[in-house]
Amino acid sequence: MRRYDVIVIGCGPGGERAAIQAARAGKQVAVIERQHVLGGTRVNWGTIPSKTLRESALFVHSLTRNKLEGIRCEIRDEITVHDFMYRERQVVQRELELINESLERYRIEVFVGQARFIDSHTVAVCGPDGGVLTSLAGDFVVIATGSSPNRPSDVPFDGESVFDSNTILGLPHMPKTMIVLGAGVIGIEFACMFSVLGIEVTLVDTRDKLLPYVDREIVAILEREMGRLGINLLHNDRHASIERLPGDRPRVRCTLRHGGAFESDSLLYCVGRDGNTKGIGLELLGLEPNDYGLLTVNENFQTAVPHIYAVGDVIGYPALASTSMEQGRQAMRHAFNIPGLPSKTETLPFAIYSIPEVSYIGETEEGLQGKGVEYVVGRGDYDMNPRGQIIGDTGGMLKLLFEAGSMRLVGAHQVGHGASELIHIAQAFLRAGASAFQIAETLYNYPTLADLYRHASLKALLAVQRQEAGGSERRR
Ligand SMILES: Cc1cc2nc3c(=O)[nH]c(=O)nc-3n(C[C@H](O)[C@H](O)[C@H](O)COP(=O)(O)OP(=O)(O)OC[C@H]3O[C@@H](n4cnc5c(N)ncnc54)[C@H](O)[C@@H]3O)c2cc1C
């Protein structure tokens, strides 16, 4: 039996980064991956493919939104999703090359097969028939098996008219209408993309408010902008039945629990994802996933068996490629006492690639109120920013939260063009412990959306001045 310092199960972003972090510290690492391609959901079925489609959608959006005199944008009837994703193969191919290069550089051994625990230090690599191909022993094990779309038995997935998030990008033709069930991040992102590409979208949110963990002002702007795209957003409902309708082209009828019924060319079901924990022998270790197949870990990503770590989608929220990678690194830093900057999930940046996009980092108003921390809000509106005017995005907003007194930046929330990139300015300011004065005194290129930081900080400082002069903008 081969022996390793670490065995990593699953080679998505979480597993890959855990493996590289340990190997960089000179550890012997084996990775077991059940697919014949590495990269997991990030490269093959989720992040990269969906963002490639989104880039085409943004291109169409900028042409249609700005309505330039003399330029007409028209989408041919016979166009397919595949046509819109013409760069996907190149991007995926390059990502796969980079992953393979990194694993080779650090001499990480990759085994193809389904991983199954034999005991807490031994993992079998199994073939498609379940037979054991080889067994590996490790001092530490990282479970990074990711998640899969939830596929309830009453939803007739067929890859023709009814899809999940793994199959939607294989749409055989562009539908005219689409029902998206589930308004989490994935549902919202697809609803925006398809709407911009000319599809009439109905988005059904199972909750009574969209994205409950995101700043409410930001969500209100997002909802308004989604309405402008033509998305019909329904809250607090879910499907009662879904049936495929006969005809030349497949169609589907979806009846909702609160009585609404919709006929549509296509239906995307994306209510929840389940952790990939079935069949890996967790019962032998006494590890019990929850009802959604998710594992519980402590702040160091250790499961109840201390030398077995779990990272990424398999531990649930926030279930992003970026956070999965960071969790993989943190887990291995903990296992091998490798020094590095500590980072808590709450202090990592988040992005939702809706149209317009949303991004945030640090404290929320609710969080500060819960802790009894006084704070000051500063807002920068795209409408007041020349770059916002030039690009035709006048609906966006940057909202900064400062601790009252010190005026230190503690949180940033943004909706609008470029939010997923611009939030990293807040990340740098947060790390540096910058105050509203310093952010306002910083010089930004002109005209840029980055200048919103100056604007929002000045607004916060102005609010304090007003408060000192007798008003009250300070919140508790
Ligand atoms: C449509 C969509 C869009 C997304 N967009 C974004 C985005 O824009 N930004 C972002 O940050 N995140 C995005 N995500 C989320 C992101 O893709 C995931 O959070 C991330 O891939 C999770 O990484 P992971 O390593 O935990 O799991 P995964 O990427 O799912 O990888 C797990 C790997 O483990 C393997 N595996 C599972 N079980 C076994 C086993 N028993 N033995 C061996 N191998 C096994 C799987 O084959 C897989 O390769 C998106 C997801 C989807 C579905």
Q: Ligand 1 centroid to 167 CA: how many Å? A: 15
What is the pLDDT averaged over residues 104-115?
A: 97
Q: Copy the structure tokens of residue 33.
A: 């991956």
Q: Is 322 a pocket residue for ligand 1 (Cβ < 6 Å)?
A: yes
Q: What does pLDDT average to over the chain? A: 93
Is the preceding peptide bond at 318 cis, omega within 30 degrees of 0? yes
What is the pLDDT averaged over residues 379-405?
A: 95
Locate the ligand 1 atom nearest the alpha carbon of residue 10 and give its number.
Answer: 34
Q: Are 205 and 234 in contact (CB under 8 A)?
A: yes
What is the pLDDT averaged over residues 198-225?
A: 96
Is the preceding peptide bond at 447 cis, omega within 30 degrees of 0? yes
Task: For residue 264, give every residue at least 6 positions away whose Cβ sits within 8 Å of its Cβ, in sequence order, or none.
Answer: 175, 177, 178, 179, 202, 251, 252, 253, 254
| Protein residue with least CA distance to atom 51, ligand 1 | 46
Q: Is a pLDDT exceeding 60 seen at residue 453?
A: yes
Q: Are 85 and 56 in contact (CB under 8 A)?
A: yes
Q: Is a pLDDT exceeding 60 seen at residue 476?
A: no
Ligand 1 pocket test: which of 31, 190, 320, 329 has the largest number of ligand atoms within 8 Å of its C-beta? 320
Phi then psi for 249, rounded to 5 degrees?
A: -105, 135
pLDDT at 1: 84
Ligand 1 pocket test: which of 276, 357, 423 has the largest number of ligand atoms within 8 Å of its C-beta? 276
**Total Cβ atoms within 10 A of residue 228:** 12
Computed from CA positions of residues 312, 156, 247, 245, in that sequence, does the dihedral angle turn out positive or negative?
negative
Q: Is a pLDDT exceeding 60 seen at residue 180?
A: yes
Q: Copy the structure tokens of residue 132.
A: 């054991």
pLDDT at 65: 72
**Total Cβ atoms within 10 A of residue 278:** 11
Q: Copy the structure tokens of residue 61.
A: 């959006």
Rounded CA separation 470/384 (Å): 27
Q: Copy the structure tokens of residue 347.
A: 């202090």
What is the pLDDT averaged over residues 212-231?
A: 96
Q: Ligand 1 centroid to 468 CA: how many Å? A: 50
Q: Are 360 and 347 in contact (CB under 8 A)?
A: no
Q: Is 142 a pocket residue for ligand 1 (Cβ < 6 Å)?
A: no
What is the pLDDT averaged over residues 6-31?
A: 98
Rounded CA separation 451/266 (Å): 42
Q: Is 10 a pocket residue for ligand 1 (Cβ < 6 Å)?
A: yes
Is the preceding peptide bond at 356 cis, omega within 30 degrees of 0? yes
Region class of 67: left (phi > 0), else alpha (psi between -120 and 50), else beta: left
Q: Are 333 and 340 in contact (CB under 8 A)?
A: yes
Q: pLDDT higher for 108 or 392?
A: 108
- Give me the residue label for tokens 């969080």: 367
Rounded CA separation 398/360 (Å): 9
Q: Is 414 a pocket residue for ligand 1 (Cβ < 6 Å)?
A: no
Q: Copy the structure tokens of residue 240.
A: 């009662």
What's this model's pTM, rounded to 2 decimal places? Answer: 0.93
| Protein residue with least CA distance to atom 6, ligand 1 | 47
Q: Is 182 a pocket residue for ligand 1 (Cβ < 6 Å)?
A: no
Ligand 1 pocket test: which of 53, 145, 360 has the largest number of ligand atoms within 8 Å of its C-beta? 145
| Protein residue with least CA distance to atom 1, ligand 1 | 46
The helix-helix angle for 13-24 and 321-335 (nearest 10°) equals: 30
At 26, is the pLDDT very low, low, confident or very high (cuts 50, 70, 90)? very high
Locate the ligand 1 atom nearest the alpha carbon of residue 147 and give its number.
Answer: 30
Please state whether beta strands 162-163 and 266-269 pair in parallel, antiparallel, or not at all (unpaired).
parallel
| Protein residue with least CA distance to atom 17, ligand 1 | 42
Q: Is a pLDDT exceeding 90 seen at residue 430?
A: yes
Locate the ligand 1 atom nearest the alpha carbon of residue 38 and give its number.
Answer: 49
pLDDT at 432: 93
At 67, is the pLDDT very low, low, confident or very high (cuts 50, 70, 90)? low
| Protein residue with least CA distance to atom 5, ligand 1 | 47
pLDDT at 57: 86
At 462, is the pLDDT very low, low, confident or very high (cuts 50, 70, 90)? very high
Q: Is a pLDDT exceeding 90 seen at residue 440?
A: yes
Q: Ligand 1 centroid to 39 CA: how many Å? A: 8
- In this structure, the dihedral spanned by the alpha carbons of residues 57, 60, 64 and 65, taken in order and rounded to 10 degrees, is 50
pLDDT at 143: 98
Residues above pLDDT 90, as percent of the chain:
81
Convert the pLDDT of each residue in 294-328 to its tens digit: 999 999 999 999 999 999 999 999 999 999 999 99
Q: Is a pLDDT exceeding 80 seen at residue 347?
A: no
HSE (side-chain half, CA atoms, 13 Å) at 19:
31
pLDDT at 64: 76
| Protein residue with least CA distance to atom 26, ligand 1 | 312
At 28, is the pLDDT very low, low, confident or very high (cuts 50, 70, 90)? very high
Q: pLDDT higher for 173 or 449?
A: 449
